[in-house]
A = this chain, B = another copy of it.
């Protein structure tokens, strides 16, 4: 019956650029201004912060802005995907660049400590390849794991979460699925590395997000998550609930039956929409989903699933899902 705590990547409140609108979809928004906008949403408790902060903002500036906005830091996401690292961070062919990536990650680890956040979020978006034959597949995966091991073993007091993604900006990324992430983390062999599951990444990677979440939970590795939506072909980062209502409900259902108690985070890129209103609309939807979870007939659904009864399960689910936004009497 309780409402979950909501969070958002701070980039939800940024402006964006892509390879066509090279002048950006809006004027740049500073870290501190992004925090202020996040505070305006009204239902957010946590933000995940890109690092380094923009416009010279210091840790103290950020702390003050967070306090003022009524927000806490859940994680810090270092920018290991800018130009310097465009041919790879952990897996850059140049050892000097790999060292620079590690250095930035160490600084992000310090920021996590100073902000009292829960984890360093590692999103190695440039680690992968674009062309057949471009890389030796053994060597590059080894670099990816060795780098993570070096990073995480240097900070045994901290947690690190890897956010996997099938592709973009590389044509193919190394940490591309829940199964491969679990496997890589097991090979690394440290207990302070987990996974942040992005609903949309799972979806367009061909996973069932609910199944991916269950697998991660079963390995004790689901340490964070965020939601959004897409058309299953690309990481569109649309508002959650705008396309895959049933599957996002199944995802949260899976979290609930496993007693997963983390923050419900947003990862959306509202290129052309108002960033605060986008977040508000998504949270409005998530609250409705949460009401549906409260009203679900768990016993009946459990029975249907034991029979693998698709029809029965659909009816039980539709009963609560398609009434979760009703006006209360």
A55 within 8 A of B: no
Q: How far is the CA of A24 from the CA of B24 in the complex (A)?
A: 12
Check if B288 sits within 8 Å of A318, measured CB to CB.
Answer: yes
Across-interface contacts of A179 in B (CB, < 8 A): 177, 179-180, 182-183
Across-interface contacts of A314 in B (CB, < 8 A): 131, 133, 239, 241-242, 281
Q: Name the interface residues of A248-270: CB closer than 8 Å to any CB of B.
A: 250, 253-254, 269
Check if A93 sits within 8 Å of B242, measured CB to CB.
Answer: no
Check if B17 sits within 8 Å of A16, measured CB to CB.
Answer: no
Interface size for A (C-beta < 8 A) is: 107
A248: nearest chain-B partner, CB-CB: B132
Check if B329 sits within 8 Å of A242, measured CB to CB.
Answer: no
Which stretch of A101-109, A191-199, A210-218 is in the interface?
A: A210-218
A23 within 8 A of B: yes
Q: How far is the CA of A172 from the CA of B304 in the complex (A)?
A: 18
Check if B325 sits within 8 Å of A21, measured CB to CB.
Answer: no
Question: Measuring CB to CB, which residues of chain A are less than 8 angstroms from any residue of chain B?
Answer: 16-26, 81-83, 86-88, 93, 125-126, 129-141, 166-169, 171-172, 176-177, 179-180, 182-183, 186, 205-206, 208, 210-211, 214-215, 218, 231-234, 236, 238-239, 241-247, 250, 253-254, 269, 271-274, 277-278, 281, 284-285, 288, 301-302, 304-311, 313-319, 321-327, 329
New A-B contacts (5) at CB < 8 Å, excluding given A288-B322, A322-B325 = A21-B169, A130-B271, A130-B272, A131-B239, A133-B305
